[in-house]
Structure 1
């Protein structure tokens, strides 16, 4: 039976006094020897006290720095080989830990893939499906749950990507895309997300836009031609269509067609240059950032 002697569980928490103690206690029941680290992200309630009472090691930020910042702090504090990232709001079931840790024996990162019906309203289900589709295009990998915060990583590996992670809720998106685009192995294990205690701190419009920008940023960072090539091709097709139109109407090649073709070539060349810069970034990641 997995007892957790090589496991650190990192829980970012902000105003989760109602659920944090129960979460920590259940982790200790499943993994008695695990190191449980709760990073209190400047909570104004008794989150830190409740987590400490339940037996967790607690590190408190002096003010609210963001969910991603709390995760980065927890990973830096972790001392074990495997690091489990999970929420402190009661959504993630500690009973899933043995299955995730078993898969972590083989994969660089194991993600708990939620049943969409178990954790989100209709708007968020549609948004998550769209994010997953875009991530699949960017990575050429069947991404099943891009934004899940329940995952297992190897500390030595994840430290190399820490400089990429934002301080916001979009750190799972960044971590997934960074692992996949740099050739790390990722596995999805089905889980059931429970109803969270309290209201969600994620705002669909604000954070949805941020997730989209993160996907574009990380894709451009690790595989720029996946972004530049379609945009370049679109300008080329527009130039071709404009040339065909002006050729049949005024029988000449116009400045607009020339501009569109030139823009297409420039974007393609920028993509090639970005690919070369990406190789330098791969070297930085492999050497530990």
Structure 2
């Protein structure tokens, strides 16, 4: 990052007055001249009063639209060339920003605060994040240390290219991380430790568990379809072949079930090819935005 880069900090908040009261005084002055924007996602607590107390700009949604929608609103409203996203619940520490900026200054397009073991994210969330990160690593053939962390620094021009892909809910970090990898932008990680959140989490395990399952499917179909469809196709083919050998040796017949499994293998493979072409359309024109910036050793 050069001295001429303007920095904007976007903080989505829904009923997080307690967290903001601790975060904002530590954040103000962390980066000289940084623009700070709190996106009030239909809060019914004292969020407005806390922002006014610390003289921080607030953008209000008339009703709750979701964490991803707040990120999109904040991105459209700020003018910085470099964007810092962090949560208002007290888990993202301003003291970690210099380390993220140091990594970012090496030439990365996005730097993510990767939560380490011992961070207070809840057991079910830690397990889910580990599963998602492993899946994403397999999809992009790169190490994804933390797929769902909302604490990140990005180049605004590149981030805005993917706003139309971002969901309104809690999975925006997943989408933007995979989008950057697929577009060939560089992503770096800095280890962080997160304390226990202030206030009550808005994530519901059952509802969001189903949503996270859909995210897994979305990751496969949107970012690397062949790596999802090819194993399924191979599974159908091998099952059909095994069943054919079994029935042929037993009765000397080629059964309808074997034919169905072979046809399913072919159709799944073809769907994967078509999905790969459709996926590529999302990143049409992205090459022109890559300025040959490579991370420094």
Q: Same fold (TM over 0.5)?
A: yes
Q: Tell me which moved more, 146-155 or 29-38.
A: 29-38
What is residue 15 of structure 1 aligned with on the other side? 15
Structure 2: 5+ residue stretches without partners: 290-297
What is residue 238 of structure 2 aligned with on the other side? 237
Shift in Å at residue 58 of structure 1? Answer: 0.4
Provide the rounded CA distance (Å) in 2 between the counterparts of 1:205 and 1:184: 34
* Residue aligned with 1:187, SS: strand
Residues 192-250 of structure 1 deviation map (CA, whole Å, 9 limit, x = unaligned): 11111112111223223322322321331122101110111111011011101111111
8 Å contact from structure 2 (residues 8, 36) kept in 1: yes
Matches within 5 A, 1:125-164: 125-164=126-165
Provide the rounded CA distance (Å) in 2 between the counterparts of 1:284 and 1:42: 36
CA RMSD of aligned residues (A): 1.8
Provide the rounded CA distance (Å) in 2 between the counterparts of 1:99 and 1:3: 16
Provide the rounded CA distance (Å) in 1 between the counterparts of 2:68 and 2:117: 23
CA change 1:102–1:154 in 2 (3 A) is same
What is residue 69 of structure 2 aligned with on the other side? 69
Structure 1: 5+ residue stretches without partners: none
What is residue 182 of structure 1 aligned with on the other side? 183
8 Å contact from structure 1 (residues 174, 215) kept in 2: no
Shift in Å at residue 287 of structure 1? Answer: 7.4
Provide the rounded CA distance (Å) in 1 between the counterparts of 2:69 and 2:4: 25
Provide the rounded CA distance (Å) in 1 between the counterparts of 2:238 and 2:193: 45
Matches within 5 A, 1:208-287: 208-283=209-284
Residues 93-147 of structure 1 deviation map (CA, whole Å, 9 limit, x = unaligned): 0011111112222111100001132122333322221111111111111111111
* Residue aligned with 1:236, SS: helix
Normalised by the length of structure 1, the TM-score is 0.94
What is residue 53 of structure 1 aligned with on the other side? 53
Q: Tell me which moved more, 146-155 or 133-142.
A: 133-142
What is residue 198 of structure 1 aligned with on the other side? 199
Provide the rounded CA distance (Å) in 2 between the counterparts of 1:198 and 1:4: 37
Count of aligned pairs between the two proteins: 287
8 Å contact from structure 1 (residues 4, 32) kept in 2: no
Shift in Å at residue 281 of structure 1? Answer: 2.0
8 Å contact from structure 1 (residues 42, 62) kept in 2: yes
Provide the rounded CA distance (Å) in 2 between the counterparts of 1:116 and 1:4: 36
Residues 166-204 of structure 1 deviation map (CA, whole Å, 9 limit, x = unaligned): 011111111111111221111110011111111211122
Residues 237-274 of structure 1 deviation map (CA, whole Å, 9 limit, x = unaligned): 11011101111111111111011101101111111122
Provide the rounded CA distance (Å) in 2 between the counterparts of 1:204 and 1:119: 16
* Residue aligned with 1:229, SS: helix
Shift in Å at residue 3 of structure 1? Answer: 8.9
8 Å contact from structure 1 (residues 87, 150) kept in 2: yes
8 Å contact from structure 2 (residues 118, 193) kept in 1: no
Provide the rounded CA distance (Å) in 2 between the counterparts of 1:215 and 1:177: 12
8 Å contact from structure 1 (residues 4, 33) kept in 2: no
What is residue 295 of structure 2 aligned with on the other side? none
8 Å contact from structure 1 (residues 84, 150) kept in 2: yes
Normalised by the length of structure 2, the TM-score is 0.91
* Residue aligned with 2:168, SS: coil
Matches within 5 A, 1:113-124: 113-124=114-125
Would you say 1:81 and 2:96 are equivalent positions? no
